[in-house]
Amino acid sequence: MHSPISRRNMLQTSGALAATALGLSAAHASSSKTLKGNINQSVVHWCFKKYWDIDKTAQVASQLGIKSVELTPAENWKTLQKHGLTCAIASSHGFKVGFNNPDNWDQCIEILRKRIDECAAGGVKNVITFTGMRDGISDDEGAKNCVAGLKKIIGYAEKNNVNLCLEMLNSRDSSHPMKGHPGYQGDHTDYCIDIIKQVGSDRMKLLFDIYHVQIMDGDVIRRLHEHKDYIGHVHTAGNPGRGELDMKQEINYPPIMQALLDIGYQGFVGQEFIPTRDPYEGLKEAVILCDV
């Protein structure tokens, strides 16, 4: 026969359960202390900007064992340094205006030159760049123009030991202006890799966005191995929807992170998902998932 449960027993049991929960919570919160750290993780500021300012983002990154807050202006880099962080990659001219159209070259080069100067002064290693939108330009012509235009600035990047990272973006998702980019010319991995090879510089790299690659090309791990010599930066997000790296999406991130280690990738992996729930919890889960 079960003995009756006294109020004291209930309180003791509740207290024990609460203590256990607090212990688990504390262990989870301090996960940054026990991260393997084989993957250099970064957080992309624009995704979390509606929740946290740059100082709060840096605090969260530091708490979670993240080493970088990226795609944030140079005026914020001192704040990152205050928290022991870097900026893994700098923003530039935006994806709508790129090197596929010679009319945009002067604008893109001016912005990139300024950003390269800031990176050289601030110890930042990468700057993002884009092909731009098709706008009636054929793929062959767009690629030829990209090569010619990028060659006009790559020497300056070489001189300053800064990489230009050309990002491949998906053109399929039209549900949200940051989930997909219909009309973007560099919408296949091989197309961007061919441009990079023709530019012919060790400072010309690919921004391998796993989310975009999955949508347009798939076969992510094989592509990482094929293009290992050209990968300068990596981004994440769940597909479909560009949400958290959770069980509601299709990409299996741990083996992809392991593939990055297998190919000797030593750069950063930027968490670039759009939160659909508590941003801190989603980011913490992503960090732990990618820590292989």
21-41 pLDDT tens trace? 333 333 344 444 589 999 999
Residue 6 has pLDDT above 50, yes or no: no
CA quadruple 84, 224, 160, 105: dihedral sign: negative
For residue 80, the tally of other CB atoms under 10 A from its CB is: 25
Residue type, 204: M
As a whole number of angstroms, the distance between CA 242 and CA 83 comes to 28
| DSSP count for the chain of H helices, then E strands | 11, 7
| pLDDT tens sequence across 183-229 | 999 999 999 999 999 999 999 999 999 999 999 999 999 999 999 99
DSSP one-letter code for 6: P
Amino acid 110 reads E
What pLDDT sits at residue 24? Answer: 31
Domain extent listing, the chain: 39-288
Q: 39-288 is classed in which CATH architecture?
A: Alpha-Beta Barrel (3.20)
> Would strands 231-236 and 204-209 be described as parallel, antiparallel, or unpaired?
parallel
pLDDT in tens, 62-93: 999 999 999 999 999 999 999 999 999 999 99
In the block, tokens 């998906």 appear at 170
**Cα 94 to the chain's mean position, in Å?**
15
Token readout for 286 is 């992503």
User: Which one-letter amino acid corresponds to residue 249?
Assistant: Q
Q: Which residue has the tokens 């109020």?
A: 7
Q: Lowest-confidence range among 13-22, 143-152, 257-266?
A: 13-22
Q: What is the pTM of this model?
A: 0.89
- Look up residue 270 and give its amino acid: G
The residues carrying an active-site annotation are 167, 272
Amino acid at 191: Y
CA proximity to 269, closest of 253, 251, 247 = 253
pLDDT on residue 33: 55
